[in-house]
Chain A
């Protein structure tokens, strides 16, 4: 019983931690991009103020929409938070017994599903177009994500994310195999694709030619918009966390001593910041891919994930 209580407490703490630092990570990415463009850029805490601003404003909802439009922000936020409960952040203890990697992938899939529907719901051209593009991207990305995490599951012999993290961090170099690098490369490309980052999608544009994610949330305003923005920021940090802790979990805490938890916190912060830096550099250096070239990039990442699973057997 004790075990389960501590697990629940730790998981909630981890989820709230992710929620708390999500806007900070987004702010840092924007700041780095600004610096690379020789500007000073807004403060790294600006996203917090933005979200707060959204929550104060009124929502304007089109009369053409149905209940899906209203419910999507809540589902989005809820699903991301539940997924966060299942991912090891600074400790390898999560609510893993409730769900494993497949549940995480499909929770994130639920978010995508409802967002796409919401985009269609308002009946505007932008929304529909963005939703169909999103579906095209996710048709390749979803199997990639599943395969790449599955490759890790194969190596460590378990599908619970927490156990994968603890198995890898404990056994050290022995389990390092080519599959690890291939799978992490595939997952990295999926992160970019799922979170609407360049080169897949531009998170700051509202041009019809280039919108995917922005197009789906175009109709939202006020509190609902605040929720959608917050959930996408949290989703980004969630992906970073999965990328760091499932593929390179060294530093994460395996027991509950203060020292290891502290080390785990530091480790995750360092890794997330590092990934934020990489994303910012990529966003500033590479131009967005044309839409019909997207399947090329995404299939490359799918093939990488496939190779990762295969190399586990072949090599």
Chain B
């Protein structure tokens, strides 16, 4: 497989990651959102595997496999389990309407590209183009946290920001030192679990996952 084809594959997967990020923003039900996150993580894992193939570095293969196991299987299973246990309405109730959110995310992607251009110009790796997409995914994840009411979507937004970061790490530096990568993975897993526990507590205390009810603490 020559380099051009590999670059195409990587670019195609990166475009898919961005696409699924938008699908997540356009999601109206929890199930759609979790599915969009799962598919985006799958594309991310495959991209990591492609990079591993190119650099012939074993530790990136490990990282790719970890991504797929954790983010495609374990975490979505856990999220779905939490959503089932909590038994709240499955609608997402956006604070910003869906067409508006999509347009704002389009704008954020522009900004991400603008920010990434000076770094892209200097880079030399096969994946430098993915940097703009990774920054865009981080922004979109941040937007999802702000613009959606349900506590569960805030968790997914945070997870998406982590995905974007992982993509940035892969595209800039072919991943970080092994021990750090593993630590970050388990961190993400534990964070997801802890947030799930808290979502539970919120539901228990407030009878709803709608975070607009949590406005009692103010000055």
Q: Do A and B bind each other?
A: yes
B101 CB, nearest partner CB in chain A, Å: 9
Q: Is the CB of A299 within 8 A of B15?
A: no
B22 touches which one: A140, A303, A314, A315 (CB < 8 A)?
A303
A204 and B46 alpha carbons, distance in the complex (Å): 44
Chain A residues close to B by CB (< 8 Å) = 140, 176-178, 182, 295-296, 298-300, 302-304, 306-307, 310-311, 313-315
Residues of A within 8 A of B16 (CB): 178
Residues of A within 8 A of B28 (CB): 296
Number of B residues, CB within 8 Å of A: 25
A315 CB, nearest partner CB in chain B, Å: 4
Closest B residue, CB atoms, query A293: B28
Q: Is the CB of B99 within 8 A of A296?
A: yes
18 additional contacts, CB 8 Å, given A295-B97, A296-B98, A314-B129? A176-B8, A178-B11, A178-B16, A295-B98, A296-B26, A298-B99, A299-B99, A300-B23, A300-B26, A302-B103, A303-B22, A303-B103, A306-B106, A307-B106, A307-B109, A311-B18, A314-B133, A315-B129
Q: Is the interface of B mostly helix, strand, loop or mixed?
A: helix
Q: Which of A176, A182, A296, A304 has the most CB of B within 10 A?
A: A296
Residues of B within 8 A of A311 (CB): 15, 18
Within 8 Å of chain A (Cβ to Cβ): is B166?
no
**Given contacts A296-B26, A296-B28, A300-B26, A315 and B110 within 8 Å (CB-CB):** no
Q: Is the interface of A mostly helix, strand, loop or mixed?
A: helix
Residues of A within 8 A of B195 (CB): none
B147 CB, nearest partner CB in chain A, Å: 14
Within 8 Å of chain A (Cβ to Cβ): is B192?
no
Within 8 Å of chain A (Cβ to Cβ): is B113?
yes
Residues of A within 8 A of B123 (CB): none
28 pairs from A and B in contact (CB 8 Å cutoff): A177-B11, A178-B11, A178-B12, A178-B16, A182-B15, A182-B19, A296-B28, A296-B99, A298-B99, A299-B26, A299-B98, A299-B102, A299-B103, A300-B22, A302-B102, A303-B26, A303-B106, A304-B19, A306-B106, A307-B15, A307-B19, A307-B106, A310-B106, A310-B109, A311-B18, A314-B113, A314-B133, A315-B133
Residues of A within 8 A of B99 (CB): 140, 295-296, 298-299
Closest A residue, CB atoms, query B112: A314
The 10 closest A-B pairs by CB, nearest first: A178-B15, A299-B99, A315-B11, A296-B98, A303-B102, A295-B99, A314-B132, A299-B102, A306-B106, A300-B26
Within 8 Å of chain A (Cβ to Cβ): is B14?
yes
Residues of A within 8 A of B103 (CB): 299, 302-303
